[in-house]
Chains A and B, each alone.
Chain A
Amino acid sequence: MTAAASSNTGLEALYRQMRRIRTFEERVGELFVRGESAGSMLHLSIGEESPAVGVCTAMKDGDTFTTHHRGHGIFLARGADPNRMMAEIAGKETGYCRGKGGSMHIADMGLGHLGANAIVGGGVPAVVGAALVAKRRNSGAVSVAFFGDGAMQQGVIYESMNMAALWGLPAVFVCINNQWGMGTRIDQATRATALHERAKAFGLAAETVDGRDVREVHAAAARILDGARAGSPGFLAVDCYRFFGHARKDKSPYRTPEEEDEGRARDPIAFARAALIEGGMAEGAIGAIDDEVAREMDASIDFAIASAAPAMDTMFRDVYAPGEPEPEPLRTRIDRILARD
Chain B
Amino acid sequence: MTETLTYRDAIRRALADAMRADPDVFVIGEEVGRYGGAYAVTTGLLEEFGPERMIDTPISEQGIVGTAVGAAMAGMRPVAELMYVDFIGVSMDQLCNQAAKIRYMFGGQIGVPMVLRTQGGTGRSAGAQHSQSLEAYVMHMPGLRLAMPATVADAYHLLRQSLRQPDPVVFIEHKSLYAHAEEVDLSAPVPDWGRAAIRRQGRDLVIVTYSRQVLYALEAAETLAAEGIEATVIDLRTLNPLDFATIGAEVERTGRAMVVSEGPLTAGVAAELAARISEECFDYLENPVLRIAGEDVPISVSTALETASVPGPELIADAARRLVA
**Closest B residue to A315 using CB positions:** B305
Q: Is B298 an interface residue (CB 8 A)?
A: yes
With an 8 Å Cβ cutoff, the count of chain A residues facing the other chain is: 51
Q: How far is the CA of A120 from the CA of B86 in the complex (A)?
A: 11
Q: Is B302 an interface residue (CB 8 A)?
A: yes
Q: Is B124 an interface residue (CB 8 A)?
A: yes
Q: How far is the CA of A100 from the CA of B56 in the complex (A)?
A: 33
Q: Contact between B302 and A309 (Cβ–Cβ < 8 Å)?
A: yes
Q: Contact between A331 and B315 (Cβ–Cβ < 8 Å)?
A: yes
* A118: chain B residues within 8 A (beta carbon): 86, 126-130
Query: Which one of A3-11, A51-59, A150-158 is at the B interface?
Result: A150-158
Q: Contact between B304 and A312 (Cβ–Cβ < 8 Å)?
A: yes
Interface flags for A284-312 (1: CB within 8 Å of B; 0: not) read 00000000000000000000000001101
Q: Kindly state the interface size class of chain B when it binds its partner.
A: 35 or more
Query: Which one of B73-81, B159-167, B288-296 is at the A interface?
Result: B288-296
Q: How far is the CB of A282 from chain B (nearest CB, A)?
A: 43
Q: Is B31 an interface residue (CB 8 A)?
A: yes
Q: Contact between A99 and B300 (Cβ–Cβ < 8 Å)?
A: yes
* B90: chain A residues within 8 A (beta carbon): 119, 154, 156
**Quick one: given A119-B90, A312-B305, A338-B322, are A41 and B59 in contact (CB under 8 Å)?**
no
Q: How far is the CA of A327 from the CA of B309 in the complex (A)?
A: 12
Q: Is A188 an interface residue (CB 8 A)?
A: yes
Q: Contact between B31 and A153 (Cβ–Cβ < 8 Å)?
A: no
Q: Contact between B129 and A334 (Cβ–Cβ < 8 Å)?
A: no
Q: Contact between B58 and A184 (Cβ–Cβ < 8 Å)?
A: yes
* B305: chain A residues within 8 A (beta carbon): 91, 99-100, 309-310, 312, 314-315
* B125: chain A residues within 8 A (beta carbon): 38-41, 91, 102
Q: How far is the CA of A190 from the CA of B311 in the complex (A)?
A: 43
Mostly, the B contact residues are loop
Q: Is B35 an interface residue (CB 8 A)?
A: yes
* A103: chain B residues within 8 A (beta carbon): 127, 301
Interface centre among B62, B292, B322 (most CB of A within 10 A): B322
Q: Contact between A104 and B129 (Cβ–Cβ < 8 Å)?
A: yes
* A119: chain B residues within 8 A (beta carbon): 86-87, 89-90, 129
Would you list which residues of chain A between 307 and 330 have a CB under 8 Å from chain B?
309-310, 312, 314-316, 319, 327-330
Task: Name B31's contact: one of A38, A183, A312, A341 (CB within 8 Å).
Answer: A183
Q: Is A182 an interface residue (CB 8 A)?
A: yes
**Quick one: given A310-B300, A314-B305, A330-B292, are A105 and B59 in contact (CB under 8 Å)?**
no
* B34: chain A residues within 8 A (beta carbon): 183-184, 254
Q: How far is the CB of A89 from chain B (nearest CB, A)?
A: 8
Given pairs A151-B59, A338-B323, 6 additional interface contacts (CB within 8 A): A155-B60, A184-B30, A184-B59, A190-B58, A330-B311, A341-B287
Would you give 26 A-B contacts (Cβ < 8 Å), ordered by A?
A: A38-B125, A39-B124, A91-B301, A99-B301, A100-B302, A101-B301, A102-B125, A102-B127, A102-B301, A105-B128, A119-B89, A150-B59, A153-B58, A155-B60, A181-B58, A181-B59, A182-B35, A183-B31, A183-B35, A184-B58, A254-B34, A312-B308, A319-B297, A330-B265, A340-B288, A341-B287
**Which positions in B face A, CB cutoff 8 Å?**
30-31, 34-35, 38, 56, 58-63, 86-87, 89-90, 124-130, 265, 287-288, 290, 292-293, 295-298, 300-305, 308-309, 311, 315, 319, 322-323
Across the A-B interface, give the 9 residue pairs with the lowest CB-CB distance, nearest first.
A102-B301, A39-B125, A153-B58, A183-B35, A91-B302, A118-B129, A327-B296, A99-B302, A189-B58
